[in-house]
Amino acid sequence: MTEQSIISDDMTLKRLFQDFYRVPDYQREYVWGETNPKGEGGEEVDQFLMDIYSEYENATKDAAPEYFIGTIVVCMGKDDVFELVDGQQRTTTAYLTLCALRDALVELGQSLPEELKGQIASSTVDWQGESIARYRLELQYEDSGGVLVQYAEGNGATADRQSTRSIRNIGNAYRVIREFITSTLKNDPINIRRFHGYLTNKVKIIRIQTPTIAKALKIFETINDRGVGLDAMDLLKNLLFMNAKEAEYSKLKDVWKQLTGEIYAANEKPLRFLRYYLMATFDVDSTQREELIYDWFQKNENLTKHASEPLTFAHRLLEAARAYRRFTTGMNASGGIERGLVNTRTLGGKSIKQHFIILMAGRHLSPTNFTTLCDEVEKTMFVWLMSGTAGKEYERRIVDAAHELRAVTDENFDDFIQRHFKKERAGLAILFRQRLLSLRVGDTRQFRLRYLLAKLTQYVDLQAYGPSQGRDNLDDYFSGGNDIEHILPDHGDPDAITEFGEGGTDQLIIQRLGNLLLIEKSINRAIQNGKYSDKIKIYPQSKYLLTRCQADKASGQVGVADKITKAVDGLDVFPVWNRDAIEKRQAFLARLASRVWDTADEQAVAQT
């Protein structure tokens, strides 16, 4: 490479991790795993994985689509290690993903592909012929504390998670990746190997290599100062302006600026928004690929009128984008809060947005019916996720329903809900119950487990006390002010283990859903890892009825035959805590869940 040359290479992750990289000490720390005040984190990591997975799902036995994750800027160091000037977040996340895939295979007792080992660590020979073992990625900034080495060596389960902000973020990112492997790849060795194959062979990146650090920093500055490009919208923009009258240019330019502003305020990719818009507005099915959207526009002007009425079409697109952006913040198209939308984001994370298709299709509904639609979406989405319905499949069902919903009136709306949501949940009722009966910590994403416990706890309170501003808001239950309590403690005191009896140290028992409850942090600190007979004296201090009545219904009863008493009578209580009690409580929570998420009997629904 000459002194002035800049090399740009389009490469797979397989090719990327044939070289060695370091993040220099002047770089900022890793931030993708950052937690918010609620204790949630890793949304960028989740989005990174789910975007790749959505393309992976489109693979056939003969071919698979490629997926581009962006650009990195590097400069070769004197020791043949690339200095990573730009692209640390995605490179570190990709590297952690390789480590997590390896760790999952090891824990499942599987042999490791040699290629995967080499993508994490290898050796190089210096000019003196000495072999030097290296990890493919090294973090040099002080805040990293050398923690990435622990993940590279396969010690992710015991790695430091607290010492610095960057260490916490890396730990959170690794946790999100392992949850993805468990919940999305089902901890299946075949799925894990296939995903690894797709990740390294079909995920592409552009590496820009410069001769000096100064040149690399200049390119980094140029890339970031240009702002977010609108290339994905350029062709559609050109289609509109080519057909607009000159007198419309000024108005069209203004509408287009607002449109792109709404899309980026929603933190959405333009092509994804356009794809969802087409499926919500026209009879476009879920097989429509993003890269073929512009071909579709060119062939379907008779439907869109984007050439004959470009300004009108741009206004319709802006209206949809404005609604879409509001959906991302839990609001309806008019800007009012929809609890069902807020909750769906809580249970699905930022990466699940397919339900926006049916929300865009249902904007014509009355406010009451749109609220019902949001609530039904929340219930059904959770049942899909817990029953293991693939994203590609539930997207197809959403699109089919959206096509019908466009013609649904408020008068026949109830029939629509019955056919497309209640019957859907009924059809999955048995599988949903089976999954809950066997559910353990780690079988689903941590935030989804918290959502599950929060909804169960909220439901009991609403049955007893009725609606209120606090109880209607799931965040009061889901927030970081509460803990998921292991009733039989994880690493409990000797007295707690002895009192429990057989299985007191068995993680398969300790991590079961039946052994978990939601409790305020202040109370949880008081009970710590003590024995059950002591804990049940403190549980009644909780404001949550389900927690208060864990061992004794008298802790929640008020009056005779009132709503609170009826709610308490419907609870199972457990004065003694042992293996059998955990089994019975898990069955109770599964029954309760069938009411919360309205998974009615399939035969009864079919007869309506």
Rounded mean pLDDT, 48-61: 89
Number of domains the chain is built from? 3
pLDDT(227) > 50: no
Residue 605 lies in a domain: no
Same domain, 211 and 258: no
Same domain, 156 and 89: yes
Percent of the chain clearing pLDDT 70 (strictly above):
93
Rounded mean pLDDT, 114-128: 85
Residues 6+ apart with CB under 8 A from 605: 418, 422, 423, 426
The 10s digit of each residue's pLDDT in 518-540 is 999 999 988 888 899 999 999 99
Same domain, 253 and 216: no
Note the pLDDT of residue 603. Answer: 44
Across 118-132, 158-172, 262-276, 563-577, least confident range: 118-132
Token pair in block for residue 389: 């319905």
The 10s digit of each residue's pLDDT in 174-202 is 999 998 998 889 899 999 999 999 999 99
Assign 474 to helix, strand or coil: coil
Strands 67-76 and 203-210: parallel
pLDDT(79) > 90: no
Note the pLDDT of residue 558. Answer: 57
Give the H or E element holding residue 8: strand 7-12
Q: What does the alpha-carbon distance between residue 33 and residue 175 come to, in Å, rounded to a whole number?
A: 9
Q: Are 29 and 89 in contact (CB under 8 A)?
A: no
| H helix runs in 226-355, sequence order | 231-243, 249-265, 270-281, 293-299, 301-304, 310-328, 339-348
Domain endpoint, select from 199, 225, 251: 225
Same domain, 121 and 245: no
The 10s digit of each residue's pLDDT in 431-489 is 999 999 999 998 888 899 999 999 999 999 999 999 998 899 999 999 878 999 999 99
User: Residue 36: pLDDT band by 50, 70, 90 thresholds?
Assistant: low
Same domain, 311 and 261: yes
Output the CA torsion sign for 564, 570, 575, 581: negative
Q: What does the alpha-carbon distance between residue 487 and residue 517 come to, in Å, rounded to a whole number?
A: 7
Higher pLDDT, 51 or 27: 51
| H helix runs in 153-269, sequence order | 165-183, 189-202, 213-225, 231-243, 249-265
Q: What are phi and psi of 496, to 5 degrees?
A: -65, -40
pLDDT(2) > 50: no
Q: Are 120 and 65 in contact (CB under 8 A)?
A: no
Token pair in block for residue 186: 């089902």
Give the H or E element holding residue 496: helix 494-500
Q: How far is CA 1 from CA 5, 8, 73, 78, 210, in A?
A: 6, 12, 16, 14, 9
Please provide the distance, in angstroms rounded to a whole number, between the alpha carbons at the two ends of the chain: 74
pLDDT(591) > 90: yes
Q: Which of 388, 419, 392, 422 shows the shortest CA–CA distance to 405?
A: 419
Strands 131-135 and 82-86: unpaired
Q: Which amino acid is present at 64?
A: A
pLDDT(223) > 90: no
The 10s digit of each residue's pLDDT in 349-372 is 878 899 999 999 999 999 999 999
Tell me the longest C-alpha to C-alpha distance in the chain.
88
Note the pLDDT of residue 492. Answer: 82
Residue 410 lies in a domain: yes
Same domain, 427 and 451: no
Note the pLDDT of residue 560. Answer: 54
Token pair in block for residue 423: 């019957």
Strand partners, 518: 484
Residue 561 lies in a domain: yes
Residue 606 lies in a domain: no
- pTM comes to 0.80
Note the pLDDT of residue 313. Answer: 94
> What is the Cα Rg of the chain in Å?
27
User: Residue 249: pLDDT band by 50, 70, 90 thresholds?
Assistant: confident
Strands 21-23 and 82-86: parallel
Give the H or E element holding residue 86: strand 82-86
Q: What is the dihedral of CA 12, 191, 434, 550, to 10 degrees?
A: -60
Same domain, 366 and 482: no
| DSSP string for residues in 93-136 | HHHHHHHHHHHHHHHTTPPPPHHHHHHHEEEEE-TTS-EEEEES
Rounded mean pLDDT, 215-236: 60
Rounded mean pLDDT, 317-340: 96
Residue 607 lies in a domain: no
Note the pLDDT of residue 229. Answer: 44
Residue 350 lies in a domain: yes
CB count within 10 Å of CB 379 equals: 21
Q: What is the dihedral of CA 517, 523, 527, 531, to 10 degrees?
A: -40
The 10s digit of each residue's pLDDT in 481-512 is 899 999 999 888 899 999 999 999 999 999 99
Q: Are 317 and 277 in contact (CB under 8 A)?
A: yes
Domain endpoint, select from 433, 464, 482: 433
Residue 120 lies in a domain: yes
The 10s digit of each residue's pLDDT in 84-103 is 988 899 999 999 999 999 99
Q: Quote the domain boundaries for residue 586.
A: 437-596
Same domain, 19 and 156: yes
CB count within 10 Å of CB 497 equals: 17
Q: What does the alpha-carbon distance between residue 226 and residue 232 come to, in Å, rounded to a whole number?
A: 15
Token pair in block for residue 459: 């439901």
Q: How far is CA 235 from CA 240, 275, 298, 450, in A?
A: 9, 14, 11, 43
pLDDT(282) > 90: yes
Note the pLDDT of residue 220. Answer: 66
Same domain, 273 and 205: no
pLDDT(224) > 90: no
Same domain, 453 and 514: yes
Strands 516-520 and 482-486: antiparallel
pLDDT(517) > 50: yes
Average pLDDT over the chain reads 89
Q: What does the alpha-carbon distance between residue 86 and residue 59 come to, in Å, rounded to a whole number?
A: 30
| DSSP state letter for 228 | S
Q: What does the alpha-carbon distance between residue 215 and residue 6 come to, in Å, rounded to a whole number?
A: 9
Same domain, 390 and 488: no
User: Residue 605: pLDDT band by 50, 70, 90 thresholds?
Assistant: very low
Domain endpoint, select from 225, 244, 275: 225
pLDDT(3) > 60: no
Query: Angle between the 249-265 and 231-243 helix axes, to the nearest 10 degrees?
Result: 160
Q: What does the alpha-carbon distance between residue 81 and residue 75 come to, in Å, rounded to a whole number?
A: 9
Q: Which of 174, 171, 140, 153 shows the shortest CA–CA distance to 49?
A: 174
Residue 451 lies in a domain: yes
Q: How far is CA 528 from CA 66, 446, 485, 557, in A?
A: 49, 21, 9, 27
Give the H or E element holding residue 494: helix 494-500
Q: What does the alpha-carbon distance between residue 408 and residue 420 come to, in Å, rounded to a whole number?
A: 12
Q: Which of 437, 439, 463, 454 shows the shortest CA–CA distance to 591?
A: 437
Q: Which of 4, 508, 451 shows the shortest CA–CA distance to 209?
A: 4
Q: What does the alpha-carbon distance between residue 522 and residue 525 come to, in Å, rounded to a whole number?
A: 5
Same domain, 377 and 475: no
Q: What does the alpha-carbon distance between residue 383 and residue 260 come to, in Å, rounded to a whole number?
A: 34
> Which residue is listed with tokens 């994905």?
232
Higher pLDDT, 94 or 290: 94
Token pair in block for residue 582: 């955990």
User: Residue 222: pLDDT band by 50, 70, 90 thresholds?
Assistant: low
> Which residue is listed with tokens 């913040």?
329
